[in-house]
Amino acid sequence: MTDDIAPPRGRPGRPTREQAEARHQELLDTALDLFLEHGFEVTTIETIAARVSMTKRTIYARHPDKATLFRTAIQRAIERQVVPRDVLEGLDQGELGATLEAIATLRIQQLASPHGLRLQHIINTESYRFPEIFTAYYEQSTRPVIDHVAALLDRAAATGEIAPTHSEFAASAFMSMVVGGRVRGIMGGLAPTPRELDERVRFTVRLLLDGLRPRPVGGLS
């Protein structure tokens, strides 16, 4: 009978790449929380390091200054708000109105989530100091949705479902009406019920499509 051989005990050492990345993501999330809670000016690297149980030296090894850490934390938050193209395409209901309702509802739910509201608050608070964060948010998170809606309107115009229009302007106005107003209300503590949200989304979609429906040449209908 042979004796059981115990497996070798793990030795302390450098963290794995996965562990190091997980700690870095924890750092960015914690930094974002503190920047939101106290503002960029008041929040210090010392405070962030203490909250995440990390040395300042470790933080400075990846982020040479507080502004760089702030921008990186914001960029990570923005990336979490991007709606993948395949998700947008998967919302196609086979009918323009229903598809627009699905897109608007998804976007409102996303922006009104705790993470989405946190990001909106900090962009509103700090974009005067870091104007590039607003631009990054628009280009990476907002613009692709507008472009997708514009493509839907172009397709509908090509089939005669709606009148020809400046699709980008129309898509931007639609998203501003249906999403911007709802999210601002939620940020102000005026969250609609699911039923109210559905009614407002449907109303805005009808308003858009009524304005874009084809009309007889030389007359009104």
pTM beyond cutoff 0.85? no
* CA distances in angstroms from 204 to 92, 129, 175, 192, listed in the order given: 18, 34, 9, 15
Round to the nearest angstrom and report the end-to-end CA distance of the chain. 96
CB contact at 8 A, 141 and 135: no
Successive 10-residue mean pLDDT values, the chain, 221 residues: 43 71 91 91 95 93 95 93 93 94 92 87 91 95 96 96 95 90 72 85 94 73 48
The whole-number pLDDT of residue 3 equals 42
| pLDDT recorded at residue 1 | 42
Which CATH homologous superfamily contains domain 83-212? Tetracycline Repressor, domain 2 (1.10.357.10)
In the chain, domain spans: 17-78, 83-212
Output the pLDDT for position 217.
64
Q: Given this model, what pLDDT does residue 199 score?
A: 92
Predicted confidence at residue 191, as pLDDT, reads 74
DSSP string, 22-91: HHHHHHHHHHHHHHHHH-TTT--HHHHHHHHT--HHHHHHH-SSHHHHHHHHHHHHHHTTPPPHHHHHHT
Pick the CATH number of 17-78 from 3.30.230.10, 3.90.420.10, 1.10.10.60, 1.10.1060.10: 1.10.10.60
Alpha carbons within 13 A on the beta-carbon side of 136: 19
